[in-house]
Amino acid sequence: MQSNQSFNGQSNGPTNESSARPSDQPSDQPFRPSVLQAIKDVNHRVFGGYAELLRLPHAARYSIGSVIACMPFPMIGMTITISVQHYYGSYGLAGALTAVQAIALAILTPLLGRLVDKFGQRQISIPSIIIWIVAAIALVTCITHRVPEWMLYVITPFLAFIPPWGAMSRARWTNQLKGDNERINRALSLSGVFDECMWVVGNPLASILAVISGVLAFSFTGMCVIVGALMFLTELSTEPPSQTQLARAAGLTRKQYREREAARAAAVQGADADKAKDSILGPGLIAVCVTWFGLGAFQSATGISIIAFAKEQDMAQYTGFVFACFSFSSLCGALVYGAKNWVIPLWKRFYFCLAVVNLGISCFVFARHLWVIMIIYLLIGVCQAPTWINGNQIMLHLVPPSRFTEGVAWMGAMNSIGASFGSAVAGQFIDRYGAHGGFMTVTVLALASLAIAFIGFRQIKTSTETPILAEVTV
């Protein structure tokens, strides 16, 4: 007691003695366990569902493998932009080449998705990977040797031979969790989390490696493709059956199978089954694809504008970290978003997240420093991944499960077409007016994208009110 009193600077008194009584100590003890318990509860609520999914047989292997194999998506565009600008000194050429690659990706992605659904994931992915590796080696060799520009235009489209890893991974989740819509939605959120991890890692790596050497950047990307493909494609037990296998089991041709499945899907949606077509392109899917076109347009224009802005401020080495901040914020948004079983209608969540991202990026035109852009990215990024998650959930309402890869591929294709348009337009304005001209283009494209999304409001709202087609079987 003496040391206690001298420490408090007080003489013996009833107040000090009462505060030091052992009988009063237990009143503080429940506080600490309750805080720890609260932290554990929050941790379980946020991460418990994801941990449960990853404990499913082989789930971690194919989901992580698909993310590693997807490294070309965050790295190729930035690598081409930085490398071409370094060797050729033209943002216009860099933007045009990324646009060519994006257009080729937009054309090939739905085709590859359709072929994957028809014949199987391994049968289509392996030839695509071989073509991509050969094209990557040829392109980096040509850039570093400053070959005539027309040769770059010839080689670049072959970089679009990227298997639809994200769509194939999501197809495996829906196949493995068939009948459990809540866990399917959480799995789609988990896929969004992994995608954002890829962007968080890929963007700074691309900017750093491309500044050092384009050969180094492409080599690292190629290694990721090979390692990820081996992890994903050698896992056979979770691969969803192809239409060929399903049709053979039902004693039908593929065309007959698709027509029969389309009729079943139309019946579930309350449509006229007799008018159901083999094609999955309907009003709802078209509305989503047009929305994704606008999303890709202003976001690609934002990327090339930020690179130009950073170079004007002699901060080009930090561009990858700025993009990584956006991806990190988006990752956090995906984690929280997927942890909750939402009761708010899907279409309301979709439009809210889309508006936050579009309006936030429109503010870049007022930024005067790269760190201001980074802060805005951190604030609005929490709605980026949920926007894509909502789009994938909408797709569950629009296409049967055996066409899911193709449906998601159409979304990605329209996003790539929009990206090619946005980067090409922004590249021209940057060459003429500098980074500010690029950000003006971003603002116009972002506001136009939001307007386009609301034009398809009725179709998107109606589609989300129909049953999920994951249970449609033939």
Contact of 376 with 326, CB cutoff 8 Å:
no
pTM: 0.70
Nearest to 379 by CA among 336, 338, 320, 330: 330
The predicted-structure confidence for 428-463, as pLDDT tens digits, reads as follows: 888 888 888 888 988 998 898 888 888 888 878 887
pLDDT in the model for residue 7: 39
- Distance between first and last Cα of the chain: 81
In the chain, helix, strand, coil percent, each to 5? 85, 0, 15
Contact of 309 with 370, CB cutoff 8 Å:
yes
The domains located in the chain, with CATH, are 56-238+279-469 (1.20.1250.20)
pLDDT in the model for residue 175: 82
Q: 236 vs 112, 118, 379, 388, CA distance in Å?
A: 19, 17, 40, 27
Contact of 397 with 469, CB cutoff 8 Å:
yes
Q: 76 vs 88, 150, 202, 301, 306, CA distance in Å?
A: 17, 19, 9, 16, 16
Give me the amino acid identity at 321.
Answer: F
Contact of 127 with 112, CB cutoff 8 Å:
no
Token couple for 149: 């520009």
Question: Crossing angle for the helix pair 165-176 and 91-119, nearest 10 degrees?
Answer: 30
pLDDT in the model for residue 5: 43
pLDDT in the model for residue 214: 63
Spell out the per-residue pLDDT of the chain, length 474, in tens: 444 444 344 444 444 444 444 445 455 555 566 766 666 666 666 667 778 888 888 888 888 888 888 877 767 777 787 778 778 877 778 878 877 887 788 788 888 988 988 888 889 999 999 999 899 889 888 888 888 988 999 999 998 898 888 888 888 988 888 767 778 878 887 887 787 777 767 666 766 776 676 677 777 888 888 998 999 998 888 888 888 888 888 788 877 777 777 777 767 666 554 555 556 667 778 888 888 888 888 888 888 888 888 888 888 777 778 887 887 888 888 888 877 778 888 889 999 999 999 999 888 888 888 888 889 988 998 888 888 888 888 888 888 777 888 888 888 888 878 877 887 788 888 888 888 888 898 899 889 888 888 888 887 888 787 767 655 554
pLDDT in the model for residue 42: 60
Q: What are the counts of helices (DSSP H) followed by strands (DSSP E) for the chain?
A: 22, 0
User: What dihedral do alpha carbons 87, 91, 92, 98 form, nearest 10°?
Assistant: 80
Q: Which residues contact 238 (CB under 8 A, 6 or more apart)?
A: 57, 58, 59, 62, 172, 175, 176
